[in-house]
Structure 1
C-alpha cells in the first residue's frame, strides 16, 4: 500500500513538473516572439474590428504615387481580426510567432514565421494569432485606389476553434 502511494505521489510530482515546464516554455516562446519583433508594437486596433488585442504600426502610408499601404500588426495570443475583404487583395508576411488564416469557405490554415499568404481581391478572410502564441505579420495592400478594407462581422469562437476539430 505504501509503495502504491509513493508511486502515485511520484507520478503526480512528475506530471506537475512537466506541466510547469510546458507553461514556462510557452511563456518564454511568447516573450521571445515579442523580443524578435522587427517593428514597434504600434497603436491598438479598435475592438469593433478585432477580438482580443491587436496593434498596428504603419510603415508606408497610402499616397497617389505608390497606391500601396504597408504595415505591421502584432496580435496577442488568441487575438484575431474580424472577417474582412480588400478590393485589391492583401499579402501577409509572417515575421514572428504563429497564427491562423482562413478564406471564407475553406479550412483554417496555420501561419508561421517566414510564411507568405496571399488574400485574393474581394474575398472574405480573417487572420490572427494562435491561442498560445503571439503573431507578428507585415501586411501589404496594393492598388489602394480601388479601396483599402471593408470590415465585416467578428469571427466566432466556433469558427476560430474549428482548426482543432479538423
Structure 2
C-alpha cells in the first residue's frame, strides 16, 4: 500500500512539470479596431481576444456598439455564443421579433440562422462572441440591417 501511495504522490508532484504552461495576454496588448462599414452600421469597436490555433478550435472577440450601431445580417456555420458584458442591446433572427439583451445574458445563435445584434438606439452594448470555424470560416456576412428593420418592434 505504501508503494501505491508513494507512486500516486510522485505522479501528482511531477504532473505540473509535464503540463504546458498557460498564458496571460494583458488587455493593453490587444488592439482595438473600428468595425468596418462593410459589416457594421454605426460605430462599433472590435477587440480580437483569442485566435483559432492548433490548441484552440474557437475564436473570441469583444465588440462594443455605440447607440444605434449594429452588425449586418450574418450567419455562422457552427453557430455563435454571445455573452453580453455591459449595457442593453437588441438581437433578431430573420423572420423573428427583435429581442432585448442585457448585461449577463447569454445568447445562442444556431448554425446558419440569419441574424443581427447591436446596441439599442439609446444605449451602448458590449458583448463577447465565441465562434468555431467550419472550412476556415466563422461568419458569412450579408447586407446591412436597414433602419426600418432595426427600429421595428
TM-score by length of 1: 0.71
What residue number does 2:141 align with? 151
RMSD: 1.7
What residue number does 2:86 align with? 96
Note the alpha carbon deviations across 1:63-121, whole angstroms, 9 max, x for none.
23321011100001110000000100000000000000001111000000010000010
Mark the runs of 5 or more structure 2 residues left unpaired by the alignment: 1-26
Distance in structure 1 (CA, Å) of the matches to 2:116 and 2:105: 16
Does the 8 A contact of 1:77 with 1:129 survive in 2? Answer: yes
How far residue 53 of structure 1 moved from its aligned partner, in angstroms, is 0.6
Pairing of 1:7-86 with structure 2 (within 5 A): 42-86=32-76
What residue number does 2:122 align with? 132
Distance in structure 1 (CA, Å) of the matches to 2:134 and 2:141: 17
For the residue of structure 2 that corresponds to 1:155, the secondary structure is coil
Figure out how many residues of one structure are paired with residues of the other and give that number: 125
Q: Which has the higher helix share?
A: 1
Does the 8 A contact of 2:70 with 2:116 survive in 1? Answer: yes
Pairing of 1:112-123 with structure 2 (within 5 A): 112-123=102-113
Mark the runs of 5 or more structure 1 residues left unpaired by the alignment: 1-37
